[in-house]
């Protein structure tokens, strides 16, 4: 017995299957994870090491090379890209497409654990597995209002704690807030007057600020725990710390040579909302979370949170659920339009009953597709929804063929059951072949390599699932309905005038084509040639991810290397002020600026000369001006603004698109690399159509190189490490202990010279270091000082220095 006959003769079972599909399908559609982009695992990792106050060249030598040497032997690595910046190192490790990423992650963790000789002040390496959920936040929240820095930090931390309690929220990052710190700012002149050094202050604080357990002891019949309690509970205790006694037996207190400040950590980024200081909170979603329902919970929480804090401004931005809801709405509208259109057309040609059978298959096929997507762990996202919109016109084709053939047998006098069986079996294999070949046309996308292949793999899978769901409906469900619900025609069906009109003109067109068959073939080949020529000669442009019209315009800019945060902020403020007063301002909803921070190729660039301005716009249909008009207005202002090194407009987020062409030049000598890079750029400028030529080479801040006088150093009983430590403490500050204030939270106690003395090179030269004999040695007596130019960053590819054009 064939499958078609079984379905026709067991219609109750078929109806039960149909009902189950509808119930389970609706439940699945409601609960299947929904997100903006598919959760693609890039097969890449980023290793981040923070080492504050260190130049790019030192970061390269002390951190990057050591990690590169250790991880280079991990199996199946495709390439390693690294970037050494001031105070930060990033290594991007990309594996072969067929590598086991879970094993690769374990191997990297093992190798990183072997890196033991990193500088003591460098933070431990952080390993991050890259996927769309890690680099694209679900939304971000801008906090503002008339609050102090301490208050806004506490508000942000409280909001973060509440957001983390929302189901399916995976992590929450706070950008722009500063932690509390206790600063000890030493006065070099007072240190010299009392014969003290920075090391003396450091040791005094460290040896006092501790609680030390002393074990247990029995006094009589009771057991006591012994501990020595010396931790600071208030900043005043630090001020009144006795450093030592002078020759006259008078105590020298820390406050005699330094100022103690209960303050915030040094600012390296600044976040602003509409020109006012702000904090940005990034919210990420777990894998199985439904972005629509999770975002609803987030918005509800933010609204309730705002009500409890008068004056708080909290704006939810970059809500990815909006795009998902729009895509689902488009799919629903297209499906509804398709159902109506199919019903009307089939009603005209084969009657309302058959039209109803065909249109019934559209929701059935979609619901079965959602069930299969859930089984294969495919989420509802923009790519899968686009695949369903594309396949919408195909899923009724096989049903129409089955209906028309069965209808023909009904007109020939067969019973509904016989007509259903004969009509379906007669074209079953051609229909299967047609659906299979259509699915096969998309399947090559499954084997695409690289990152684009990982993104697009979901597309042919969803198309194939939808096509085979429609095939199941047309060969199993539809014949059963035809057999049960169709009625034999009471009279011979006669074609209407409209049908006769179509047939008449169709016959005439076919006759002409057959009569002039060579001319017909010529026109067919001419059309094919024109189509291929349009592709070959770039009349039809090709790009994998087309330019979008986002709700947010992102402006990224750089000021000259070495520009401090305040100067960069001045420039950003001028741009903000222009945007808030330009004629296109009515289309702008909010301006969120990040000074000292910029996202580039999904990597955070933390430099005081960087800035990123996100301009939130109204919905497209409510805008008076176009995106290009707004960007051109801002661009014309920036081009006249002094103090900007470079700027560009970018998309807020999404799949990695990269530059159209990237050229990498490898070598060891940075000067030669820079020269060759300029030669290559000059040649590229001669090529028509090439634009936006830029490279990764950029001069950095001026550097003060402290070169030891080794003979003097040896005679003085000092080491290079001692020089480096005292210079680092004086200029950048060193965390010498922790301040707990009697609670669980702890804050850094940072020792440094007072700011007015750091900015004077002579003060640095006159720093005193105590040797093993207790003598005070002046830094300039054991070291020379040389000012040179550094780099903004140093890039590596597989361990070799590179410049990227």
**pLDDT for 745 beyond 80:** no
As given in the structure block, the two tokens for residue 686 are 């001669």
Report the range of poorest mean pLDDT among 229-233, 564-568, 742-746.
Answer: 742-746
* Rounded Cα distance, 31 and 352, in Å: 34
What pLDDT sits at residue 302?
A: 93
Residue 543 predicted with pLDDT over 70: no
CB 283 within 8 A of CB 141: yes
Could you tell me the pLDDT band of residue 370, with boundaries at 50, 70 and 90? very high
Instruction: Please list the alpha-helical segments (H only) found in 486-609.
Output: 497-515, 517-536, 565-581
CA nearest to 791, candidates 704, 664, 705, 701: 701
Q: How far is CA 539 from CA 532, 660, 661, 688, 691, in A?
A: 10, 17, 20, 16, 19
For residue 610, give the nearest of 269, 135, 274 by alpha carbon: 269
End-to-end CA distance of the chain: 67
Residue 134 pLDDT: 61
pLDDT of amino acid 304: 93
Which of 104-113, 246-255, 733-742 has the least mean pLDDT?
733-742
> Which pLDDT score, from 0 to 100, does residue 798 have?
87
**Which pLDDT score is estimated for 393?**
77
Residue 315 has, within 13 A of its CA and on its CB side, a CA count of 17
Per-residue model confidence (pLDDT) at position 578: 92
Residues 720/150, Cβ–Cβ less than 8 Å: no
> Looking at the whole model, is its pTM more than 0.75?
no
Higher pLDDT, 134 or 175: 175
The mean pLDDT of 147-171, rounded to a whole number, is 88
The reported pLDDT for the residue numbered 658 is 56
More confident residue, 410 or 450: 410
Nearest CA to 757 among 185, 345, 309? 185
Kindly state the average pLDDT of the residues 683-703: 78
The model's pLDDT over 308-343, given as tens digits with 9 standing for 90+, comes to 999 888 888 888 888 888 888 887 888 888 788 878
pLDDT band at 602, cuts 50/70/90?
A: low
Which range is most confident: 238-242, 492-496, 593-597? 238-242
Please check the confidence at residue 682 and state whether its pLDDT lies above 90.
no
Confidence (pLDDT) at 152: 86
Cα–Cα dist 616/552, whole Å: 5
pLDDT at 267 over 60: yes
Q: Which residue reads 């609680």 in tokens?
A: 211
Taking alpha carbons only, the member of 170, 363, 205 closest to residue 285 is 170
Q: Where are the beta strands (DSSP E) in 230-275?
A: 242-245, 251-253, 258-264, 270-273
| Rounded percentage of the chain residues whose pLDDT exceeds 70 | 95
Domains of the chain listed by start with CATH number: 3-35+352-489 (1.20.1640.10), 38-135 (3.30.70.1430), 552-650 (3.30.70.1430), 700-804 (3.30.2090.10)
> What's the CA gap between 19 and 32, in Å, rounded?
19
The structure tokens listed for 402 are: 């089955």
Q: What is the pLDDT at residue 670?
A: 80
Q: What is the rounded CA–CA span in Å between residue 201 and residue 242?
A: 10
pLDDT at 751: 92
pLDDT bucket at 135, cuts 50 / 70 / 90: low
Q: Please compute the mean of the pLDDT values over residues 673-680 and round it to a whole number.
A: 87
User: How many angstroms separate the Cα of 298 from the Cα of each of 325, 479, 618?
Assistant: 16, 48, 21
Q: Report the mean per-residue pLDDT for the chain.
A: 84
Residue bearing tokens 């790519």:
383
State how far the Cα of 467 lies from the Cα of 3, in Å rounded to an integer.
19
Cα 40 from Cα 774, distance rounded (Å): 61
Q: What distance in Å separates the CA atoms of residue 476 and residue 485, rounded to the nearest whole number?
A: 15
What was the pLDDT predicted at 344? 85
Q: Alpha carbon of 766 to those of 409, 631, 708, 711, 784: distances in Å? A: 105, 52, 15, 19, 12
Please determine, for residue 653, whether its predicted confidence score (pLDDT) is greater than 60: no
Kind of pairing, strands 139-144 and 313-317? antiparallel
Rounded CA-CA distance 559/576 in Å is 16
Segment 285-305 mean pLDDT: 88
Q: How far is 56 from 560, CA to CA, in rounded Å?
A: 16
Determine the Cα angle at 102 with ends 97 and 106, to 5°. Answer: 120
At 277, is the secondary structure helix, strand, or coil?
Answer: strand
Question: How far, in Å, CA of 95 to CA of 78, rounded?
Answer: 5
Distance CA 604, CA 48 (A): 11
Q: What confidence category does residue 23 fall into, taking pLDDT thresholds of 50, 70 and 90?
A: very high
pLDDT exceeds cutoff 60 at 657: no
pLDDT average, residue stretch 436-460: 82
Nearest to 805 by CA among 694, 646, 690, 645: 694
Query: 211-219 and 222-229 as β-strands: parallel, antiparallel, unpaired?
Result: antiparallel
Reduced to 3 states, what is the DSSP secondary structure of residue 182? strand
- Which residues, 6+ apart, have CB-to-CB distance to 21 below 8 Å? 364, 367, 368, 371
**What pLDDT is stored for residue 700 in this prediction?**
67
pLDDT, residue 97, reads: 78
pLDDT, tens digit, for every residue of 459-493? Answer: 899 999 999 999 999 999 988 888 888 777 665 55
* Res 771: pLDDT: 86
664 alpha carbon, distance to own chain's centre: 24
Residue 113 predicted with pLDDT over 60: yes
Give the separation between CA 203 and CA 108, rounded to whole angstroms.
Answer: 37
Q: How far apart are CA 469 and CA 478, in angstroms?
A: 12
How far apart CA 698 and CA 560 sit, in angstroms, is 9
User: Residue 244 carries which DSSP code?
Assistant: E
What are the strands of the beta sheet with 258-264, ordered from one edge? Answer: 258-264, 180-186, 747-753, 734-739
What count of residues does the chain have?
805
Give the confidence band of 17 by pLDDT, cuts at 50, 70, 90. very high
| For residue 541, pLDDT beyond 70 | no
Please give the C-alpha separations between residue 119 and each of 32, 539, 693, in angstroms, as whole numbers: 47, 56, 38
């Amino acid at each position: 017995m064939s499958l078609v006959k079984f379905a026709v003769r067991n219609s109750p079972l078929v109806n039960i299957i149909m009902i189950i599909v509808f119930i389970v399908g609706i439940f699945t559609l409601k609960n299947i994870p929904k997100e903006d982009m598919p959760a693609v695992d890039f097969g890449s990792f980023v290793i981040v090491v923070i080492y504050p106050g260190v130049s790019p060249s030192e970061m390269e030598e002390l951190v990057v090379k050591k990690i590169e040497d250790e991880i280079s032997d991990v199996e199946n690595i495709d390439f390693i890209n690294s970037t050494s910046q001031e105070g930060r190192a990033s290594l991007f490790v990309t594996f072969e497409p067929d590598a086991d990423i879970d094993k690769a992650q374990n191997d990297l963790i093992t190798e990183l654990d072997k890196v033991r000789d990193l500088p003591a002040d460098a933070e431990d390496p952080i390993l991050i597995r890259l996927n769309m959920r890690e680099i694209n936040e679900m939304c971000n929240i801008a906090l503002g209002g008339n609050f102090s820095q301490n208050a806004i930090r506490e508000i942000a931390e409280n909001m973060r704690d509440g957001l983390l309690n929302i189901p399916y929220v995976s992590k929450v990052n706070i950008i722009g807030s500063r932690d509390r710190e206790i600063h000890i700012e030493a006065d070099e002149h007072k240190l010299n007057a009392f014969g003290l050094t920075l090391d003396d202050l450091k040791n005094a604080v460290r040896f006092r600020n501790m609680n030390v357990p002393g074990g247990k002891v029995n006094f009589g019949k009771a057991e006591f725990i012994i501990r020595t309690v010396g931790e600071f509970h208030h900043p005043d205790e630090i001020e009144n710390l006795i450093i030592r006694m002078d020759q006259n037996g008078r105590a020298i207190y820390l406050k005699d040579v330094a100022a103690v400040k209960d303050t915030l950590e040094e600012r390296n980024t600044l976040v602003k909302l509409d020109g006012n200081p702000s904090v940005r909170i990034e919210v990420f979603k777990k894998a199985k979370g439904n972005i629509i329902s999770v975002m609803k919970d987030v918005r509800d929480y933010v609204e309730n949170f705002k009500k409890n804090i008068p004056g708080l401004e909290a704006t939810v931005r970059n809500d990815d659920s909006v795009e998902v809801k729009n895509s689902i709405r488009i799919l629903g509208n297209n499906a509804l339009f398709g159902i109506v259109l199919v019903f009307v057309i089939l009603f005209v040609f084969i009657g309302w009953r058959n039209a109803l059978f065909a249109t019934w298959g559209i929701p059935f096929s979609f619901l079965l597709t959602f069930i299969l997507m859930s089984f294969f762990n495919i989420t509802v996202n923009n790519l899968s929804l686009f695949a369903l919109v594309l396949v919408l016109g195909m899923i009724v084709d096989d049903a129409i063929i089955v209906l028309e053939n069965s209808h023909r047998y009904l007109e020939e006098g067969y019973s509904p059951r016989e007509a259903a069986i004969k009509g379906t079996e007669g074209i079953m294999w051609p229909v299967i072949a047609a659906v299979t070949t259509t699915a096969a046309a998309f399947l090559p996308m499954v084997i695409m390599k690289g990152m684009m292949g990982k993104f697009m793999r979901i597309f042919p899978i969803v198309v194939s699932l939808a096509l085979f769901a429609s095939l199941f409906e047309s060969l199993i469900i539809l014949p059963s309905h035809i057999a049960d619900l169709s009625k034999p025609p009471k009279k011979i069906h006669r074609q209407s005038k409209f049908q006769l009109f179509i047939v008449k003109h169709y016959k005439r067109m076919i006759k002409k084509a057959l009569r002039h068959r060579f001319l017909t073939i010529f026109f067919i080949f001419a059309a094919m040639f024109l189509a291929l020529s349009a592709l070959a000669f770039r009349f039809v442009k090709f790009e994998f991810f087309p330019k979008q019209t986002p709700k947010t315009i992102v402006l990224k800019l750089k000021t000259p290397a070495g520009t401090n945060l305040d100067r960069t902020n001045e420039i950003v403020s001028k741009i903000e002020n222009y945007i808030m007063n330009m004629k296109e301002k009515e289309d702008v909803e909010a301006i969120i600026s990040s000074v000292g921070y910029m996202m580039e190729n999904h990597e955070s660039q933390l430099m005081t000369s960087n800035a990123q301005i996100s301009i939130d716009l109204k919905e497209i249909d409510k805008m008076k001006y176009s995106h290009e008009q707004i960007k051109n207005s801002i661009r014309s202002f920036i081009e006249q603004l002094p103090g900007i090194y470079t700027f560009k407009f970018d998309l807020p987020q999404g799949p990695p698109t990269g530059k159209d062409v990237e050229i990498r030049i490898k070598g060891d000598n940075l000067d030669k690399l820079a020269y060759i890079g300029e030669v290559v750029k000059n040649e590229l400028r001669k090529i028509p159509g090439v634009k936006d030529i830029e490279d990764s080479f950029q001069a950095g801040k001026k550097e003060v190189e402290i070169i030891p006088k080794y003979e003097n150093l040896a005679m003085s009983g000092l080491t290079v490490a001692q020089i480096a430590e005292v210079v680092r403490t004086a200029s950048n500050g060193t965390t010498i202990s922790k301040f707990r204030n009697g609670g669980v939270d702890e804050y850094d106690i940072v020792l440094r010279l007072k700011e007015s003395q750091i900015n004077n090179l002579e003060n640095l030269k006159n720093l005193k270091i105590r040797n093993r004999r207790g003598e005070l040695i002046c830094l300039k007596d054991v070291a020379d000082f040389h000012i040179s130019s550094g780099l903004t960053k140093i890039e590596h590819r597989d361990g070799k220095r590179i410049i990227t054009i």
